[in-house]
């Protein structure tokens, strides 16, 4: 009620020239809507009246209505337009007081927007690594290497035994027999040891490659040699 009284007082004294009848009708309707708390409708009536008669009273009334809506930007503009009309000092002080209060009236802050929670990327575990000692090719090479070395060592031992036994042979035939047996055992034994060593080396390489998950070894056996081919990286 106090705000309406102030509004009426300013309307009665701020303008040296009275409003026209049409403009006054809009002003009165706007004042009634303001009194009822219908500020948006009051602004519409007051704006229409100001378009008919740019009386300074409309500027103050519009400033009040916009301030009640929390629109300080428009309220301050209308208050300053009213002050530009050079109202009496008492009225100017009231407007300055409203200007000081206007920043306290602000629109509601916008509702915060929710940020969607990113969907975590499912973890893909790598398949478990097999133990290198379970590699079939490596196991075969290792077994062959052990058999070859074991056989070769045995034959070399027998060859050495027969060679020594030939020194005490009672007959020439027995000497020749033991000597031939010694040469054969030594030859086969040496070949077996070399072949077994090659297979064992191939097994080691194969196991290394299996441990590093990059198997690349091949074995080629011919009538007079064994070739172990390794490719890849350590």
Q: Which residues lie below 8 Å from residue 87, measured CB to CB, with a gap of 6+?
A: 10, 13, 14, 56, 95
163 and 77, same domain (yes or no): no
Q: Which domain holds residue 169?
A: 132-230
In this prediction, residue 19 carries a pLDDT of 80
99 in any annotated domain: yes
Q: End of a domain among 104, 119, 140?
A: 104
139 and 67, same domain (yes or no): no
140 in any annotated domain: yes
13 and 96, same domain (yes or no): yes
21 and 82, same domain (yes or no): yes
31 neighbors 64 (Cβ within 8 angstroms): no
Compute the C-alpha angle 106/107/109, nearest 5°.
Answer: 110
100 and 137, same domain (yes or no): no
Q: How many domains does the chain have?
A: 2
164 in any annotated domain: yes
120 in any annotated domain: no
Q: Which residues lie below 8 Å from residue 62, measured CB to CB, with a gap of 6+?
A: 43, 46, 47, 50, 74, 75, 78
146 in any annotated domain: yes
Cross-strand partners of 218: 229
111 in any annotated domain: no
Q: Which residues lie below 8 Å from residue 105, measured CB to CB, with a gap of 6+?
A: 67, 68, 70, 72
Q: What are phi and psi of 12, to 5 degrees?
A: -80, -25
80 and 147, same domain (yes or no): no
d(CA 27, CA 57): 9
pTM score: 0.40
142 in any annotated domain: yes
Indicate which CATH number applies to the domain containing 13. Answer: 1.25.40.10
E-strand stretches of the chain: 217-221, 226-230
60 neighbors 10 (Cβ within 8 angstroms): yes
7 and 55, same domain (yes or no): yes
Q: pLDDT tens across 161-220, in order?
A: 888 887 877 888 888 888 898 889 889 989 988 998 898 888 788 777 776 655 455 666
Q: How far is CA 73 from the centre of its chain?
A: 42
Within the chain, which residues score under 70 in pLDDT? 1-17, 103-133, 211-234
90 and 174, same domain (yes or no): no
112 in any annotated domain: no
Number of H helices, E strands in the chain: 8, 2
Cβ atoms within 10 Å, residue 212: 13
Residue 127: both structure tokens together:
């398949």
By CB atoms closer than 10 A (0-12, 13-18, 19+), residue 141 is buried
**How does the average pLDDT of the chain come out, rounded?**
78
98 and 145, same domain (yes or no): no
156 neighbors 186 (Cβ within 8 angstroms): yes
């Amino acid at each position: 009620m106090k705000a309406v009284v102030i509004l009426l007082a300013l309307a009665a004294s701020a303008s040296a020239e009275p409003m026209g009848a049409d403009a006054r009708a809009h002003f009165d309707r706007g004042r009634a809507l303001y009194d009822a708390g219908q500020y948006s409708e009051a602004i519409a009536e007051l704006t229409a009246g100001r378009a008919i008669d740019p009386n300074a009273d409309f500027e103050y009334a519009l400033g009040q209505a916009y301030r009640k809506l929390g629109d300080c930007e428009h309220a301050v503009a209308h208050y300053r337009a009213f002050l530009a009309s050079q109202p009496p000092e008492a009225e100017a002080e009231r407007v300055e007081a409203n200007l000081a209060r206007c920043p306290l009236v602000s629109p509601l802050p916008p509702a915060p927007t929710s940020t969607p929670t990113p969907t975590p990327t499912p973890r893909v575990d790598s398949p478990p690594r097999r133990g290198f000692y379970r590699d079939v090719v490596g196991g075969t090479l290792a077994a062959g290497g052990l058999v070859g070395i074991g056989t070769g060592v045995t034959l070399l031992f027998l060859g050495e035994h027969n060679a020594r036994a030939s020194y005490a042979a009672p007959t020439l035939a027995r000497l020749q027999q033991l000597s031939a047996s010694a040469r054969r055992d030594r030859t086969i034994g040496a070949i077996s040891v070399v072949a077994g060593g090659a297979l064992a080396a191939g097994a080691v390489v194969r196991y290394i490659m299996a441990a590093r998950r990059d198997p690349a070894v091949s074995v080629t056996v011919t009538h007079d040699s064994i070739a172990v081919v390794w490719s890849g990286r350590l």
